[in-house]
């Protein structure tokens, strides 16, 4: 139905070992949303993302994508619709950039000509020069590597992008530039994006909506401006207080000149 959320998690729970990692997480995400998933290290963010593309099977609960349970049909058909990019993306070192970007199209049986055309299109999309197609991963900077990783995740035209700390290893300037470049791509390609980040400022500046996961439970779910005004849960308040305190300290330095 038109009003159904594009992605819907219903009471998704997971224990790993004997420990509960996700406690009945429910989340409804409309098509086109850009959601940042934030929370302390170990709070279950990666586990939650992996339940969406079936890298991890929940103990209970369900995940629906575009109205259909993700367990209907084979995993590879689901993953074709989902781009997955993560920190330290690990390009295949023995393949050049074009071959890396073309991995999934190749698995899908695209012709060589169709793959080459798609690689050229994707390099343009992520603002890398066309001659990067022949470069080896070990000749790329960190930012260029992440751009190739994003191109690879987009290769089969997914509608949903799952990104797990995609810019985590980059210097702040490259990180800011790439974050904004990705946000523009999200808008232009009509993607739905869930981006895990531990950087609350990045989340506030890039996303439409921020979901705060603490100890496997969603403790806040709000638009950036709403989250900044959020009061009630001390752990959430502490999390949003830090970037605001830093912004005030910077402003005070400018005032003191
Ligand atoms: N395969 C596993 N077996 C047991 N525990 C795990 C496994 N994978 C992750 N965990 C634990 O689950 C918790 C959540 O992990 P994770 O989802 O990676 O958190 P985050 O991405 O928020 O840092 C952590 O305490 C982690 O140690
Ligand atoms: Mg993680």
pLDDT-based confidence at 89, cuts 50/70/90? Answer: low
The CATH code for residues 1-81+158-224 is 3.40.50.300
Cα 37 to averaged position of ligand 2 atoms, centre (Å):
10
| pLDDT in the model for residue 240 | 92
pLDDT-based confidence at 194, cuts 50/70/90? Answer: very high
pLDDT-based confidence at 82, cuts 50/70/90? Answer: very high
In ligand 1, the atom with minimum distance to the C-alpha of 196 is: 21
Cα 44 to averaged position of ligand 1 atoms, centre (Å):
6
In ligand 1, the atom with minimum distance to the C-alpha of 50 is: 17
Cα maximum dimension of the chain: 63
Ligand nearest to the CA of 216: 1
3-state helix, strand, coil in the chain (%, to 5): 45, 25, 35
pLDDT-based confidence at 95, cuts 50/70/90? Answer: very high
Whether 150 contacts 72, CB under 8 Å: no
Minimum CA distance residue for ligand 1 atom 18: 46
In the chain, pLDDT over 90 holds for what percent of residues?
Answer: 82
How far is residue 207 from each of residues 7, 123, 132, 180, measured CA to CA in Å?
17, 24, 30, 10
Place of tokens 């049909």: 73
- Asked if the model's pLDDT at residue 88 lies above 70, the reply is no
**Degrees (nearest 5) of the Cα angle 36, 202, 37?**
20
How far is residue 24 from each of residues 30, 65, 163, measured CA to CA in Å?
20, 18, 22
| pLDDT in the model for residue 151 | 94
| pLDDT in the model for residue 4 | 79
Q: What is the pLDDT of residues 20-67, one digit of tens each?
A: 999 999 999 999 999 999 999 999 999 999 999 999 999 999 999 999
Minimum CA distance residue for ligand 1 atom 24: 42
Q: What residues does each domain of the chain span? A: 1-81+158-224, 90-157
Minimum CA distance residue for ligand 1 atom 13: 42
- Mean pLDDT for the chain? 93
Q: What is the pLDDT of residues 102-146, one digit of tens each?
A: 998 998 899 999 999 999 999 998 999 999 999 999 999 988 999
| pLDDT in the model for residue 3 | 64
Q: What is the pLDDT of residues 200-244, one digit of tens each?
A: 999 999 999 999 999 999 999 999 999 999 999 999 999 999 888
pLDDT-based confidence at 163, cuts 50/70/90? Answer: very high
Look up the pTM and report it.
0.92
Minimum CA distance residue for ligand 1 atom 7: 16
Cα 30 to averaged position of ligand 2 atoms, centre (Å):
23
In the chain, pLDDT over 70 holds for what percent of residues?
Answer: 98
Enumerate residues with CB within 5 Å of ligand 2 (an ion). 45-46
In ligand 1, the atom with minimum distance to the C-alpha of 164 is: 21
């Amino acid at each position: 139905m038109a009003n159904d959320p594009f992605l819907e998690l219903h009471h998704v729970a997971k224990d790993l070992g004997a420990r509960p990692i996700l406690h009945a997480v429910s989340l409804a995400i409309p098509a086109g949303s850009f959601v940042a998933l934030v929370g302390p290290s170990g709070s279950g963010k990666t586990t939650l993302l992996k339940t969406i593309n079936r890298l991890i099977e929940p103990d209970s609960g369900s995940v629906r994508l575009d109205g259909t349970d993700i367990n209907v049909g084979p995993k590879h058909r689901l993953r074709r619709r989902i781009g997955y990019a993560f920190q330290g993306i690990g390009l295949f070192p023995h393949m050049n950039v074009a071959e890396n970007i073309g991995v999934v199209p190749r698995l899908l049986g695209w012709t060589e000509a169709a793959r080459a055309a798609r690689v050229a299109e994707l390099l343009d999309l992520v603002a890398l020069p066309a001659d990067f197609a022949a470069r080896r991963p070990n000749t790329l900077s960190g930012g260029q590597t992440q751009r190739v990783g994003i191109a690879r995740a987009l290769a089969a035209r997914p509608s949903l992008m799952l990104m797990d700390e995609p810019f985590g290893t980059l210097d702040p300037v490259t990180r800011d530039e790439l974050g904004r470049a990705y946000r523009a791509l999200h808008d232009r390609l009509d993607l739905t994006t869930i981006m895990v980040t531990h950087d609350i400022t990045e989340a506030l500046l890039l996303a439409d909506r921020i979901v705060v996961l603490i100890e496997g439970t969603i403790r806040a779910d709000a638009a950036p401006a709403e989250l900044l005004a959020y009061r009630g849960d001390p752990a959430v308040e502490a999390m949003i207080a830090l970037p605001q305190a830093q912004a005030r300290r910077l402003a005070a330095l400018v005032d003191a000149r």
